[in-house]
Amino acid sequence: MRKKFVVGCFDDEKVLFPAVKNVRRAGYKIHDVYTPFPVHGLDHAMGLRETSLHTVGFIFGLTGTSIAIGGMGWIFTTDWPLNIGGKPHFPLPAFIPITFELTVLLSAISMVYTFCWLCKMMPGVKKHHFHPRATDDLFVMVIECTAKTNETEVQSFLQNNGAIEINVQEAEDGWWFGRYDKEQKLYRTEEVGY
């Protein structure tokens, strides 16, 4: 969906922190803050909740453990009980290495997959970038305009809070399939249905 945003760029995280705080106190809606590196504590300052990505890792890790123990146990006791030097059919210590590896494997793959899914990231995905230097040296605060928002007021507010560059942009806030060397989208909005 196309929306209107006021974009303020900061060149120092020390200025950004109080600005985020003031913007929130003034009641403006922060769409997002784009930073070139993880700024610690910014998520708390913006009032974002803690991510629960690690829970996914834990659940899929347990799945890996069960698949490994269950699978090897079923194969060696039920499907094809093979006599290997008269050793037990369910030797738990000998199953530990593979169980551990599958736990780690499933946990890691699922977490990376979930990360990409939550952040809507994939080769071929394109999003609106509010400032090309957001991945270089600028901290870009984006404020979403609602029907009631007075844009000039927000702009002067950002100015007073130390933004070095301020502009208003009308942009798509979701993602779409596209190439970074071309402007047009690969699919029309209605077809993707986001």
Contact between 15 and another protein per CB under 8 A: no
Residue 67 touches another protein, criterion: CB under 8 A: no
Q: Which residue has the tokens 């779409």?
A: 176
Among 2, 29, 51, 186, binds another protein (CB under 8 A): 51
Residue with tokens 């008269």: 86
The CB-of-147 to another protein minimum distance in angstroms stands at: 24
Q: Beta strands of the chain (E only): which ranges?
A: 2-10, 29-34, 125-127, 139-144, 165-172, 175-177
Among residue numbers 151 through 170, which ones bind another protein (CB under 8 A)?
none
Q: Which residues, other chains included, contact 7 with Cβ-Cβ below 8 Å and sequence gap of 6+?
A: 130, 131, 140, 141, 142, 143, 166, 167, 168, 169
Binding of another protein by 102 (CB under 8 A): yes
Instruction: State the nearest-atom distance from the C-beta of 137 to another protein, in Å.
Output: 4
Q: Is 48 in the site for another protein (CB under 8 A)?
A: yes
DSSP 120: T
Q: Is 181 in the site for another protein (CB under 8 A)?
A: yes
SS3 of 24, please?
helix
Q: Per rule CB under 8 A, is residue 174 in the interface with another protein?
A: no
- Check binding of 29 to another protein (CB under 8 A): no
Residue found under tokens 């769409």: 31
Provide CB contacts within 8 A for 71, sequence distance 6+: none
Q: HSE of 111 in the Cβ direction (CA atoms, 13 Å)?
A: 17
Residue 2 as a binder of another protein (CB under 8 A): the answer is: no
Binding to another protein by residue 111, rule CB under 8 A?
yes
CB of 101 to another protein, least distance (A): 4
> Which of 3, 4, 13, 162 is close enough to bind another protein by CB under 8 A?
13
127 binds another protein (CB under 8 A): yes
